[in-house]
Amino acid sequence: MLSNNIISIIEKNINLITNLHDLNLLKNQYLGKNGYISKQFKKLKNHNLEDKIKKSIILHKYKKIITKIFIEYKKKLENIDINQKLTKQSIDITLPGRINRLGSIHPINNIINKIKYFFIKLGFQHICGPEIENNYYNFDALNIESYHSIRTQKDTFWINNDILLRTQTSNIQIRIMNMIPPPIRILTFGKVYRHDYDNTHTPMFHQMEGLYINNNVNFTDLKNILLNFVQYFFNKKIKVRFRPSYFPFTEPSLEVDIMNNKNKWIEILGAGLVHPNVLKNVNIDANTYTGYAFGIGIERLTMLYYNLQDIRVLFENDIRFLQQFNYITYKYDKV
């Protein structure tokens, strides 16, 4: 059975140890599977039940004490090791500090800020809305026919028969017109989703739309604001063309083209006077109020502004591509 001076023997031996390896070897001699304490437990099988209980209690008591001794000495050795490492290490306080590099503004965000600045200076209020929408706000209220191709699964991401990922931010315009009476002057922005993917289209892209509803709003007002915007965004000398077009939610409708450096016309946005049916759907009297709306594809303008050939580079997070925008300073022009 255990000798009375076993604790003293262990403490004497453990004080001679200077590293964790030797400490583990000594620990196994006493607490290991085939160690001293385990052997003492095995000897209990030769005793009667009463002796087994008494001696087992004593063995567990000694095992607990010995375990505590090894844990405390291990902490002591670890602290000594840490202090030795800290003593050997030195810090050169004369070295310059590490530079925290600031991230760059993503080109898409830069274009968004540039567009917002122009229209907010003209009194437009920036509004956001839900990306998950229903048939009414995304199609029905916008005078989009039930047989229109955009309603099919080929063009639209449907969640169920009524819920979808919005295909344009016009849904926000409907919600606002349902909530507040004219005059309304808002700028809606956000992500939109369509089944499309190539070097000029992605399934998710950003769109910004403007809406102005008031008395006596006419086509000349629309052309004037779009012309000023395009000249502000690109430069005063750029050639601009207004071309008749068709959209279910505007009548008459137009598209705006600019001439690129290869003398080719490039379409950049669509617009028109708000269709009377749309005003009727949101309970606005079309005989009293008129308005205009326009839609801008952010990625399209970004590609033109930075002369990019593939829209997908804007979403690939290639650091080599994004780093070139680190030192571009952006100054708003006066409107």
Q: Which of 68-72, 126-130, 325-329 has the lowest mean pLDDT?
A: 325-329
Sequence-ordered list of residues with C-beta below 8 angstroms from that of 253, at least 6 positions apart, any chain: 244, 245, 246, 247, 270, 271, 272
Q: Residue 235: what pLDDT? A: 77
Q: Residue 3: what pLDDT? A: 59
Domains of the chain, residue spans: 6-88, 107-325
Q: How far apart are CA 100 and CA 123, in angstroms?
A: 38
Residue 44 vs residue 193, higher pLDDT:
193
Q: Is the pTM higher than 0.75? A: no
Q: In what order do the strands lie in the sheet with 265-274?
A: 125-127, 184-193, 204-214, 290-297, 265-274, 250-259, 240-247
Q: Whole-angstrom distance between the N-terminal and C-terminal Cα of the chain?
A: 97
Q: Give the alpha-carbon dihedral of 169, 217, 185, 287, to 10 degrees.
A: -80
User: To the nearest whole number, what is the mean pLDDT of the chain?
Assistant: 85
φ, ψ of residue 81 in degrees (nearest 5) = -65, -40
Q: Residue 143: what pLDDT? A: 85
Averaged pLDDT for residues 251-261: 90
> What does CATH list as the number for 107-325?
3.30.930.10
Q: 317 in the Ramachandran plot: left (φ > 0), alpha (ψ -120 to 50) or beta?
A: left
Q: Residue 334: what pLDDT? A: 46
Averaged pLDDT for residues 25-51: 82
Q: 57 in the Ramachandran plot: left (φ > 0), alpha (ψ -120 to 50) or beta?
A: alpha
Rounded to the nearest 5 degrees, what angle is found at the Cα of 297, between the Cα atoms of 293 and 301?
120
Q: How far apart are CA 89 and CA 110, in angstroms?
A: 46
* Percent of the chain topping pLDDT 90: 33
Split at pLDDT 50, 70, 90, the class of 4 is: low
Is the predicted pLDDT of residue 57 greater than 90, yes or no? no
Residue type, 128: C
Residue-wise pLDDT tens digits, 275-328: 999 999 999 999 999 999 999 999 989 888 888 888 888 888 887 787 777 544
